Amino acid sequence: MFIDQVVIRVASGKGGDGVVHFRREKYVPFGGPDGGDGGRGGDVILQVNPTLNTLAAFQRRRQFKAADGRNGGGKNQTGRSGADLIIQVPPGTVVFDEDTGSLLGDLVREGRQLIVCRGGRGGRGNARFATPQDQAPRHAEKGEPGQTRSLRLELRLIADIGIVGVPNAGKSTLLAKVTNARPKIAPYPFTTLAPNLGVADLDGERSLILADIPGLIEGAHLGFGLGHEFLRHIQRTRVLIHLLDGLADDPIVDYAQINSELALFDPDLAKKPQVVALNKIDLPEVQSRWEEIETRLKQQGADAFADPLPISALTGSNLRQLLHTAGRLLNDLPPPSETAAVPVYRFDTDPRQFTVKKMPDGWRVVGEAIERAAAMTYWEYEQSVRRFQKILGSLGVEAALREAGIQEGDTVYIGDYELEWRD
């Protein structure tokens, strides 16, 4: 099954907890703190696997989570870091944040990686909090929570040449004739419901990767007839073979319609070099109208990159010339620039920002930094609670709550925690 778009949910690992521990040894009554740090949580990484050509594997599994870090131990032992989770994706995968719509990365080259969720750092053990003034700290940090996000993966086929045209123009027949691809072929429109790839041998030393794009109809740029799903695959190709149906009522109208749909979806698509070919020239009725169609095509500018060609995908007439012409246009183009994947997702907003909301039963403080600080606090240790109170002051949360009108005894909700306000 060819799947070219899917939404998945990914989560990085939580950092391991730091521990409160003191050295206990015979004849050493005051051994001091030796609680170790927690290990780092695992990252979630997308990696290009050239053996894949579809996103079908994600139909069976949509939830992914990296391993958590292990807790620290006594004797200053640091917990083991959680293993990174590497998710294999096919070349040509474009990654979006489903919630914000922002582009995270474009994965093209073999082995390219994209970190989509950073693992939480390990919490610090009490040995890290020892000072000359406090030589026996009885508090530590819990591990930082991991990140969770929804990703939209879109597959855009990587091909040298895209074959476009109206339904039933003969695109699949052409692909099958010049390559070893075996697309579904039948004498009715919309036989092809998913793009097909094939490799054509030019001269024994050079080959071309061709993509048969399902037939486009009027309104494809608006999504009609799965237009968006089909059109985005053309974005990755560098040269187009524009195939016309020789038996159509007016192939010139079809030619203009397809170019309009390309331009309306993405103006750059209409600028790609094209080789225009009239198919089914083996039929007498098509041969008789070729001269008139050729003249009209040139009037429409179809010869901007190469002269229009009459071909027969069924008999193979002029197919070698068609491929060599497309190959020449490809050679004339500058080498493609490698699209760099975004190595790490960067937040668009300051994580220290927060909002204070009045609730029927108290107050709700929402903010990334303050919620993470609450999750990393050992509430059973008084020193950890005092440290959290200092964070409230440094981030401005305390002042914001006072300004909002909080009263003694009011309930404050921060993340999953419920606190009571005391002046």
- Give the CATH number, domain containing residue 411: 3.30.300.350
pLDDT-derived band of residue 229, with 50, 70 and 90 as boundaries? low
150 shares a domain with 191: no
Which DSSP string corresponds to 129-181?
G--SS-SS----BPPPPPPEEEEEEEE----SEEEE-STTSSHHHHHHHHSS-
Residue 370 lies in a domain: yes
Residue 346 lies in a domain: no
pLDDT-derived band of residue 220, with 50, 70 and 90 as boundaries? very low
- Give the CATH number, domain containing residue 254: 3.40.50.300
Residue 347 lies in a domain: no
Residue (of 125, 146, 144, 150) closest to 67 by Cα position: 146
324 shares a domain with 181: yes
317 shares a domain with 209: yes
DSSP code of residue 232: H
165 shares a domain with 148: no
Q: Across the beta sheet with 103-107, what order do the strands follow?
A: 63-65, 5-11, 148-155, 93-97, 103-107
Domains held by the chain: number: 3
Residue 201 lies in a domain: yes
Given 274, 297, 332, which residue is the final one in a domain? 332
**Token pair for 384:** 């950890």
pLDDT-derived band of residue 225, with 50, 70 and 90 as boundaries? very low
192 shares a domain with 148: no
pLDDT-derived band of residue 195, with 50, 70 and 90 as boundaries? low
On average, the pLDDT of the chain sits at 82
123 shares a domain with 247: no
Q: Are 36 and 123 in contact (CB under 8 A)?
A: no
- Give the CATH number, domain containing residue 69: 2.70.210.12
Residue 364 lies in a domain: yes
What is the pTM for the complete model shown? 0.64
pLDDT at 14 over 70: yes
Which residues, other chains included, contact 45 with Cβ-Cβ below 8 Å and sequence gap of 6+? Answer: 84, 85, 86, 87, 113, 114, 115, 116
Which of the residue ranges 168-177, 215-224, 250-259, 368-377 would you say has the lowest mean pLDDT?
Answer: 215-224
Of all residues in the chain, what percent carry a pLDDT higher than 90? 36
199 shares a domain with 138: no
pLDDT at 218 over 50: no
Of all residues in the chain, what percent carry a pLDDT higher than 70? 85
Given 127, 155, 183, which residue is the final one in a domain? 155
128 shares a domain with 75: yes
Given 105, 130, 155, which residue is the final one in a domain? 155
165 shares a domain with 312: yes
260 shares a domain with 379: no
* Phi (first) and psi of residue 190, to 5 degrees: 60, 35
Highest mean pLDDT range out of 176-180, 206-210, 373-377? 373-377
Domain that includes residue 200, residue range: 161-332
199 shares a domain with 102: no
194 shares a domain with 133: no
Residue 2 lies in a domain: yes
- Provide the pLDDT for residue 231: 67
- Provide the pLDDT for residue 216: 55
Question: Long-range contacts of range 389-396, CB-CB < 8 Å, 24 or more positions apart?
Answer: 395/352, 395/354, 395/367, 395/369, 395/370, 396/354
pLDDT at 221 over 70: no
Highest mean pLDDT range out of 169-173, 228-232, 301-305? 301-305
Which residues, other chains included, contact 253 with Cβ-Cβ below 8 Å and sequence gap of 6+? Answer: none
**Token pair for 311:** 């071909």
The mean pLDDT value for 210-226 works out to: 52
CA distance 140 to 124: 6
pLDDT at 102 over 90: no
Residue 147 lies in a domain: yes
pLDDT digits (tens, 9 = 90+) for 136-174: 898 899 999 999 999 999 887 667 888 888 887 888 888
pLDDT at 38 over 70: yes
pLDDT-derived band of residue 205, with 50, 70 and 90 as boundaries? low
Residue 389 lies in a domain: yes
